Amino acid sequence: MNSLSRQDDGTYIVKSISTHSESSAEQSSTSEETFDTVILAAPYQFTGIDISPAPKHTPDKIPYVHLHVTLFASPHVLSPTAFGLAPDAHAPQVILTTLAPDESYGSSPQGVGRAGFFSISTLGGGLNPGPAVKDRPEYFYKIFSPMRVNATFLAKILGIPPPAAGAEGEELSKDDVSWVYRKLWHSYPYEYPRVTFEEIRLDKDLWYTSGIESFISTMETSALMGMNIAKLVTDEWASEKNKGEKAEDVEPVKVQPEDRYEKVQMAEKGQKPIKAKL
């Protein structure tokens, strides 16, 4: 979805662009759909959705942790000396870091100190299917770090010569690292004290689930927020339906003509008719 526009009748037109491959070229197509209610289930600041007209409430922009994830395959095992172990030792399958006694977080949001990474995990192994090194045994690794992992860092933990001076930005040889994939995640927000909670309704029939992330950020609480909004939406639909049914069932007020006999009878009993306006 790349744009959302509210119509005069209260409905929303959602426009989306999908990309698909046909033969050797990529083709894109635009589609439009009309909805009575829209639920935005992603952090507003990352959606890139153009909402027209602008909603009555715009969610606050909050800072998120930048987590770099690096997956790679190599025929080399992790070097024990890179982690302060003896050359003949075996590096652990999972390596987690903490700050040294002489380090502190300070004002830096990275929080990894001299280690430069949060964790390194050995995911498993397999055979490289490439024709040049067919069926070569290799290991699969995953690194979590606050910064992009470069070739110099990979060479250090694998115990191989670093890249030549001036070539730090280049990848290692395919003989040493056959495959590498890098992904930057906005993994979760920094939780700062708040004096207000985010709105869950941005406008009429426009709901927002990610407002909870400025308060607490977990998959479980986000799922609960989705369930909560789904309940609010269905309750609102049911309420509107019931109002419509009750309006149809109400009978109009019937005004009876004045009965002269009843007025005479009331006068004889000393009663006066009550005059009132409806």
pLDDT for 62 beyond 80: yes
First to last CA, the chain: 53
| pLDDT of res. 23 | 57
More confident residue, 155 or 17: 155
Task: Band the pLDDT of 278: cuts 50, 70, 90.
Answer: very low
Work out the mean pLDDT of the chain and round it to a whole number. Answer: 86
Rounded Cα distance, 70 and 93, in Å: 16
Q: Please compute the mean of the pLDDT values over residues 187-204 and round it to a whole number.
A: 89
Among 247, 261, 259, 255, which Cα is nearest to 277's? 255
Asked whether the predicted pLDDT for residue 194 surpasses 70, the reply is yes
Across 3-135, where does the E strand assignment appear? 3-6, 12-22, 25-35, 38-40, 50-52, 64-74, 94-96, 119-128
> pTM of this prediction?
0.72
3-state secondary structure at position 146: coil
pLDDT (tens digit per residue) in 238-259: 998 888 777 666 666 565 555 5
Q: What SS3 state is found at 137?
A: strand
Q: How many Cα atoms are found within 13 Å in the side-chain-facing hemisphere of 269?
A: 9
Highest mean pLDDT among 32-46, 155-169, 186-200, 254-268: 32-46
262, pLDDT greater than 60: no
Rounded to 5°, angle at Cα 99 from 98 and 104:
145
When computed from its CA atoms, the radius of gyration of the chain, rounded to whole angstroms, is 33
Would strands 136-145 and 119-128 be described as parallel, antiparallel, or unpaired?
antiparallel
Assess whether pLDDT exceeds 70 at residue 157: yes
User: For residue range 202-226, what is the model confidence (pLDDT) as tens digits?
Assistant: 999 999 999 999 888 889 999 999 9
Residue 225 contacts residue 250 (beta carbons within 8 Å): no
